[in-house]
Each structure stands twice: as structure tokens, then as C-alpha cells.
Structure 1
Amino acid sequence: MSGLDSHITRCLDCRASIVWATTGKGNQMPLDAEPVSAGNVLLSVDRKGVHAGVLGPNQAAGARDRSQPLYQHHRLSCPHSHKWARRR
């Protein structure tokens, strides 16, 4: 994604490339830096940073149909997420 490269950092536990994005509610969300086919997060980048839009199943399917890259929360791929992920 254009502009995303300068926002990539590393997970402190597994050292994978991640991006911190701000959700619509103002929360910070760690995302895998590479898009995935099963993703449900659409990213946008502006001068204020990276913004995450969490999509419902139908919205995500539509984004995939339009070939938009989708990302996933890093807790889904981090082998150490049990240390830091919020309990549902």
C-alpha cells in the first residue's frame, strides 16, 4: 500500500512486520504488515497516520471482489499473542 512502508515496525515478541493502525473508535490495533486473503481490515494512510476499518463479512467479500488489499489483526498470526492480546 502506498505510504504504508514508513509505518511498518516489528512485533516485540515474534519480530514479525506489523503496522499500528487507529480504529474508528480511536483504539490502536496491531496488524500484520502484509495483506492476506482472509483479512477483514481495510487500511488508509493520511498525514495523521494509518487508519483501520474493520469490515463485516459482506463488506470484506466486496472489497476482495474489488481487489482491495485486506489485513488481519496480528493476534491471529503471532505465536506469542497469549501474552498481550485482550481477552474477549
Structure 2
Amino acid sequence: MAILIVIGIIILFIGIYNKINYIGTFQTSKENYSFKINKPQGMNIISHIIKDNNLIISYEDNANIKIIIYDYFKEKIIKEIDLLK
């Protein structure tokens, strides 16, 4: 009977330890949910669309239009498309 009590207490301490470690790694800072997108030199933003996990931004210049598709969760560029006017 005493062995079961000791095993139960050990399991309880392991559960509490895991719960404390999970709380310590969880951060609700706004910096975790945002990333910086650099605008191409000399171009203006036309529009932006959020579709599924992708952020699609269109830029315009005198000579061409650039469409950049970002993956929001991976925080990297998936595709860049250049169109001539």
C-alpha cells in the first residue's frame, strides 16, 4: 500500500513539473505573432490579401507590378512574381 502512495506522489510531482515548464515556455508577447516585411525599393503597396496561411502583397512601380506571397506561419517568402505593365 505504501508503495502505491509513493508511486502516486512521484507521478503527481512529475505532472506538476511538466505543467510549470509548459507555463514558463508560453509567451503571449505581440512580438511572437508579428514579423517584418521589407518593402521593395521605390515601390508602393497596391493591395494585400490574407488567404489561408498566406499573405499576398502587391507592389506597383512605374514600369512593373510585383506580387509577393508570404507564408505567415513559416515567416518566409514562398513566391515572387514580376509583371510588366
TM-score bin, normalised by smaller chain: under 0.3
Q: Where is the helix percentage greater, Structure 1 or Structure 2? A: 2
Q: Where is the strand percentage greater, Structure 1 or Structure 2? A: 2
* Higher relative contact order (Cα pairs below 8 Å, separated by 6+ residues): 1
In terms of Rg, which structure is larger? 2
TM-score scaled to structure 1, two decimals?
0.22
TM-score scaled to structure 2, two decimals?
0.22
